[in-house]
Amino acid sequence: MLAMNYRGPKRVRIDQKPIPEILHPEDAIVRVVRSCICGSDLHLYNGNVPDTRVGSTFGHEFVGIVEEIGSDVHKLKVGDKVIVPFNISCGRCAFCKQELYGNCHESNSQATAVGAIFGYSHTAGGYNGGQAEYVRVPYADVGPTIIPEGMDWDDAVLLTDVVPTGYQAAEMAGIQKGDTVVIFGAGPIGIMAARCSWLFGAGRVIIIDKEDYRLEFARNYSQCEAYNFMDMEDPVVFVKKTTDWMGADVCIDAVGAEAAGNVLQTITGRKLLLQAGSATALHWAINSVKKGGIVSIVGVYGPTDNLVPIGNVVNKGITIRANQASVKRLLPRLIDHVQNGIIKPKQLITHRVPLEEVADAYRMFSEKLDNCIKPVLIPPSAHE
Amino acid sequence: MEEQAKDYSHINGWGIDADPKNDPTYPMKRRTNEEHKGYSWERPPQQPITMEVLHSIERPNVSAVYGTAMPPSGLSGMIRRFAFKHSENSYLHWLPLLVADRVNVVEGLIEDVAEGKVPNIFSEKGYSADWDHNRSGLAVRAAIGAAVVGAVVLMCAGEKNRKRWFNQLMDR
Ligand SMILES: NC(=O)c1ccc[n+]([C@@H]2O[C@H](COP(=O)([O-])OP(=O)(O)OC[C@H]3O[C@@H](n4cnc5c(N)ncnc54)[C@H](O)[C@@H]3O)[C@@H](O)[C@H]2O)c1
Ligand SMILES: [Zn+2]
Ligand SMILES: [Zn+2]
């Protein structure tokens, strides 16, 4: 089969690899119909996630058709069309029972600091991902969810990560009716977080990024205010000013380790890897939120340390909430929202690229070429 | 900043998931103390261990299922084995892994050549995307040093764009 093959920082290609096999009675093999490239993949692509082994296939956002099932799979059958959550979860450990499906204890041996994620380095379990024609999907009765009648592949593939993550960012923010929400990052996740903040009753939603085309998109899609931090002396002062000098009730970090905007953070976090990525957006979020406010982090950082003003968290009495999205937990509600037209995921897709051109797609998404927001990869075997 | 209207009827779904009782909200909310009495759940059957699987020393075992993407091998594999002697709490875990990743890149090149493949770095880096959408960027990269270009553009840029250029310069 064709599969993306990681060769080193900023080098990927398409290669032939063997079709995966059932290795556990609860496995399924899924034939991929759509897969995406995510901001999270950029941390791998840039070589910033420890234990990213050459030869691995990335891709944690994919949907497809069940091709084969293990002897102990009962809820799925061959031919079913499925949304596969990006997290791999057993459904029965203490954490899964708590609905922390992103923090399962029975799917990743290699680290206790993160759950298992498809195609996301050996630190996240060493699974091959969905930027390929076929994927092995463990615990097939737990995560995969049948795509409801009438929902198309493009909407479905964004339910594997983008929609739940954006929604959970707003949920964790504990938004009260009328709150001012400031979101750092107008990538797919930030745009979705801005849209979902309204569902929780936000009174004002502001998104901050440096890419004008993304800000313009957010203004329309998320119906929010959008500002470019490249035009600001200091984004924190900007937020203070626009909130009557109080600070935002809630700040959301939807940027993570590839943040721009501060030369010290960029050099130590992204170039020298002396910290687990550049923490500029988180820094700004902590300093922009009001006293007693909430900072919700969905931006991804590596497993070591970051330079953030933790003293201010203490002294301002800030609550920080964060996690990998618990996709399975949120899917029923979010499928409803999509079916009722409240969330329109596929409008985020700007590029449909043949899987064979995966290297160009990474480059385009990473360098923000051609006004790219969300690229979807389509394998040659996907005839739909 | 103009005052935003307090009528949200133009926003489809405004407030439908607002729930004042949703506090302390996820991820705290479903904490059930019963389930935190240790390793108490009935474990899924173990995926047969047919290859080397490194596991964190912060857990006693290999998880019931594991990924088989790239078992450790070669020099990078030796470094990874060393890393996994140290806990996730230690730099001696993560830093060697980053070193192993870089060594692994060289191993990948050697492997390609051994298989008679000359890696096409231009295409692996996706530069044809620049050719299609960022031809000037590609030319700049290939031709003159970015600093010279930056200085010239800064000089030509209008007052309005200067702050942006300055910010961009400060970041890259
Ligand atoms: N927690 C989860 O479950 C989860 C799931 C998916 C993605 N993520 C993470 O969410 C983050 C965003 O993902 P994405 O797909 O939208 O990525 P993306 O790379 O498309 O978007 C990030 C955006 O942040 C902007 N940015 C850079 N520095 C900034 C700063 N200092 N302030 C404001 N904006 C800044 C960039 O211009 C870009 O538009 C990533 O870190 C990704 O790993 C987390
Ligand atoms: Zn993702
Ligand atoms: Zn579990």
Residue B167 pLDDT: 73
Residue B137 pLDDT: 81
Residue A122 pLDDT: 98
CA distance B92 to chain A (A): 11
State chain B's mean pLDDT as an integer.
85
Q: pLDDT at residue B8 above 80?
A: yes
Structure tokens at A116: 């298992």
Q: Indicate if A318 and A330 belong to the same structural domain.
A: no
Residues pairing with A11 in the sheet: A8
Nearest CA to ligand 1 atom 43: A40
Q: Indicate if A194 and A122 belong to the same structural domain.
A: no
Q: pLDDT category, B20, cuts 50, 70, 90? A: confident
Nearest CA to ligand 1 atom 13: A39
CA angle in degrees (0–180, nearest 5) for A269-A270-A276 = 45
In the sheet that A225-228 helps form, which strands lie side by side, from edge to edge? A225-228, A204-209, A180-184, A248-253, A289-297, A319-322
Residues within 6 Å of ligand 1 by CB:
A 38-40, 42-43, 161, 165, 184-190, 208-211, 214, 229, 254-256, 258-261, 280-281, 298-300, 324-325
Q: pLDDT category, B22, cuts 50, 70, 90? A: confident
Q: Indicate if A35 and A155 belong to the same structural domain.
A: yes
List the single residue in B13, B25, B170 with the smallest CB-CB distance to A172: B25
Q: What sign has the CA pseudo-torsion A184, A188, A193, A198?
A: positive
**Total number of domains in chain A:** 2
Q: Indicate if A155 and A244 belong to the same structural domain.
A: no
Whether B163 and A231 lie within 8 Å, measured CB to CB: yes
Q: pLDDT at residue B164 above 90?
A: no
Q: Indicate if A202 and A85 belong to the same structural domain.
A: no
Residue A91 pLDDT: 96
Residue B147 pLDDT: 72
Q: Indicate if A309 and A343 belong to the same structural domain.
A: no
Write the CATH number for A310: 3.40.50.720
pLDDT in tens, B25-39: 777 766 666 566 678
- Of A292, A322, A352, the last residue of a domain is A322
- Residues above pLDDT 90, as percent of chain B: 55
> Which mean pLDDT values do the consecutive 10-residue runs of chain A (384 residues) have?
98 98 98 98 96 98 98 98 98 92 97 97 98 98 97 98 98 95 98 98 98 98 98 97 98 97 93 92 98 98 94 97 97 98 98 97 97 97 74
Number of H helices, E strands in chain A: 12, 17
Structure tokens at A86: 């990006």
Residues 267-286 in A contacting B (C-alpha not used; CB under 8 Å):
273
- Of A278, A299, A322, the last residue of a domain is A322
Q: Indicate if A63 and A12 belong to the same structural domain.
A: yes
Q: Indicate if A150 and A13 belong to the same structural domain.
A: yes
Domain around A9: 2-161+326-383
Residues 324-383 in A contacting B (C-alpha not used; CB under 8 Å):
326, 329, 333, 337, 340-343, 359-364, 367, 369-370
Q: pLDDT at residue B1 above 50?
A: no
Whether A100 and B27 lie within 8 Å, measured CB to CB: yes
Q: Indicate if A74 and A133 belong to the same structural domain.
A: yes
Q: How far is the centre of ligand 2, averaged over its atoms, from the C-alpha of A161 (Å)? A: 5
List the single residue in B61, B109, B129 with the smallest CB-CB distance to A363: B129
Rounded distance between C-alpha atoms, residue B20 and residue B27, angstroms = 16
List the single residue in B14, B25, B83 with the smallest CB-CB distance to A171: B25
Residue A25 pLDDT: 98
Residue B133 pLDDT: 87
Residues 142-161 in A contacting B (C-alpha not used; CB under 8 Å):
none
Whether A23 and B47 lie within 8 Å, measured CB to CB: yes
Residues 225-244 in A contacting B (C-alpha not used; CB under 8 Å):
225, 229-231, 242
Atom index in ligand 1 nearest the CA of residue A374 equals 20
Contacts of residue B144, defined as CB under 8 A and 6 or more positions apart, other chains included, come to none
Q: pLDDT category, B19, cuts 50, 70, 90? A: confident
pLDDT in tens, B119-136: 899 999 999 888 888 888
Name every chain B residue with its beta carbon within 8 A of the beta carbon of A229: 167
Q: pLDDT at residue B98 above 90?
A: yes
Write the CATH number for A60: 3.90.180.10
Whether A109 and B133 lie within 8 Å, measured CB to CB: no
Q: How many Cβ atoms from other residues are within 10 Å of residue B60's Cβ?
A: 8
Whether A53 and B53 lie within 8 Å, measured CB to CB: no
Cα atoms in the 13 Å half-sphere on the side-chain side of A125: 30
* Closest alpha carbon to A237 in A304, A163, A287, A175: A287
Suggest the residue from A12, A54, A96 to mutate for an interface test with chain B (most B CBs closer than 10 A). Answer: A54
Residue B149 pLDDT: 63
Residue A384 pLDDT: 57
pLDDT in tens, A206-221: 999 999 999 999 999 9
Q: pLDDT category, B2, cuts 50, 70, 90? A: very low
Q: How many Cβ atoms from other residues are within 10 Å of residue B172's Cβ?
A: 13
Q: pLDDT category, B110, cuts 50, 70, 90? A: very high
Rounded distance between C-alpha atoms, residue B89 and residue A270, angstroms = 21
By most ligand atoms within 8 Å of CB, the mutation choice from A37, A40, A58, A367 for ligand 1 is: A40
Q: Indicate if A153 and A183 belong to the same structural domain.
A: no
Q: Indicate if A179 and A288 belong to the same structural domain.
A: yes
Task: Check if A220 contacts B (Cβ < 8 Å).
Answer: no
Name every chain A residue with its beta carbon within 8 A of the beta carbon of B132: 360, 369-370
Exposure string over A207-230, b if 16+ CB within 10 A, otherwise e: bbbbbeebbebbbebbbbbbbbbb
Q: Indicate if A56 and A127 belong to the same structural domain.
A: yes
- Of A273, A288, A322, the last residue of a domain is A322
List the single residue in B26, B32, B97 with the smallest CB-CB distance to A171: B26
Residue B3 pLDDT: 42
CB distance A82 to A30 below 8 Å:
yes
